[in-house]
Structure 1
Amino acid sequence: MKKYIRPAIVLTLGMVSVIGVYTLFVFGIAKITPEKGLGEQITINGKKQYANIGQQFSLPQYFHGRPSAVNYNAAGSGGSNKGPNNPEYLADVQKRIDTLLIQNPTMTEVKIPVDLITASGSGLDPNISVQAAEFQIDRVAKARNISTEKVKELIAQNASDENIVFFAPQKVNVLKLNAALENLK
């Protein structure tokens, strides 16, 4: 019995120290980032919002983000885990397509970017592609009574190349884009 206890204790202490060192290393790296490991926050109408967590926008004067399988609940991040042939999943996607076409009557189903009808793996993706933002230009411009050129300009100003993968398409943070719309007033 003593033959097994000593190696078990040594292995446990070794793993605790390795995991502890790794945790402290990651914590230290986070503390030297601009946000000090707390996530990027922006203030909209006096209320702080996290720009790195997807938010739900449903009013026509705002850009809408990716759908969320977890109803934008950051405490329960996750996808739907339904396969591409699952009837429930296909019904959800068709419902999203129908809603988008009603909200954006000047657009056609062929032009709908995939990120406007499919949820991300976490359900909390804060970004959409530039094409997804451009798909919504007419609706937002009409709801805000501003020119489509001004809305295109805002999209271009908020487009980002901060991708880990080379040659990945530009993306737009929906919360920052909607904050920029609010600042037009």
Structure 2
Amino acid sequence: MKTYLIPSIKLSFVLLVLCSVIYPVVVAGIGRLAPGQGNGVKLMHNGRVVGYANLGQVFTRPEYFQGRPSAVDYNAAGSAGSNKGPSNPDYLAVVKARVDTFLLQNPTVKRAEVPSELVTASGSGLDPDLSVAAATVQINRVAAARNLPPEQVAALIKQHTQAPLLGFLGPEKINVLKLNLALDQLAAGGK
């Protein structure tokens, strides 16, 4: 028994120090090197903070691109998914309602063209980004609401598309808040 007990206690102590002290200090140190020093990147518009680049927000007005739905109503303190599986009848009803609402708001889009990310919440409930396809499917609505040519809105999407990390890790993506701020700047004449 002593043969196993002493090494187990030593290993437990080493892992406790490693996982509870060293790892958090290293992660916090790396976070201080990131943009925003680990506190998020604040986005400013007309001299005031309008949001954070790494947190999703709700946009419901037709002149704005809509992001992913949130299972936690975009509450960063309660980041979580819905925990309902794809066969859950309540979840299916919510997704169907989101699809129907999206189609009402975007009459030029067919049901099969609606990207799943626009009607299903992300795992965190705070996803700030969309795929290029999810932004592209909203072009006609945004362009009509802002009285802009669709080509100009499409060019703005292309301008705000971020390449995958290191050129191959993950998909191309677009930050919804940054894109909507660019739309506001375009409407204000580029001020």
TM-score, structure 2 normalization: 0.86
Q: Residue 121 of structure 1 is aligned with which of 116, 123, 135? A: 123
Q: Distance in 1 between matches of 2:113 and 2:148?
A: 23
The answer to whether residue 21 in structure 2 is matched with residue 20 in structure 1 is yes
Deviation string, structure 1 residues 17-52 (Cα, Å, up to 9, x no partner): 322111111111111223211112111342241110
The alignment's C-alpha RMSD in Å is 2.2
**1:20 partner amino acid:** V
Aligned identity (percent) is 51
Q: Distance in 1 between matches of 2:169 and 2:31?
A: 26
Cα deviation, residue 168, structure 1: 3.8
2:3 equivalent in structure 1:
none
Unaligned runs of 5+ in 2: 1-5
The verdict on how the C-alpha distance between 1:151 and 1:28 changes in structure 2, with shifts beyond 3 A counting, is same
Q: In structure 1, the residue corresponding to 2:91 is in which secondary structure?
A: helix
Q: In structure 1, the residue corresponding to 2:36 is in which secondary structure?
A: coil
1:3 equivalent in structure 2:
none
1:172 equivalent in structure 2:
174
2:156 equivalent in structure 1:
154
Q: Distance in 2 between matches of 1:25 and 1:150?
A: 45
Q: Distance in 1 between matches of 2:67 and 2:37?
A: 26
TM-score, structure 1 normalization: 0.89
Q: In structure 1, the residue corresponding to 2:174 is in which secondary structure?
A: strand
Deviation larger for 65-74 or 159-168: 159-168
Q: Distance in 2 between matches of 1:87 and 1:13?
A: 47
The verdict on how the C-alpha distance between 1:164 and 1:124 changes in structure 2, with shifts beyond 3 A counting, is farther
2:100 equivalent in structure 1:
98
Cα deviation, residue 164, structure 1: 7.5
Unaligned runs of 5+ in 1: 1-5
Map residues 109-148 of structure 1 onto 2, 5 A cutoff.
109-148=111-150
**1:139 partner amino acid:** R
Q: In structure 1, the residue corresponding to 2:35 is in which secondary structure?
A: coil
Q: How many pairs were matched up?
A: 181
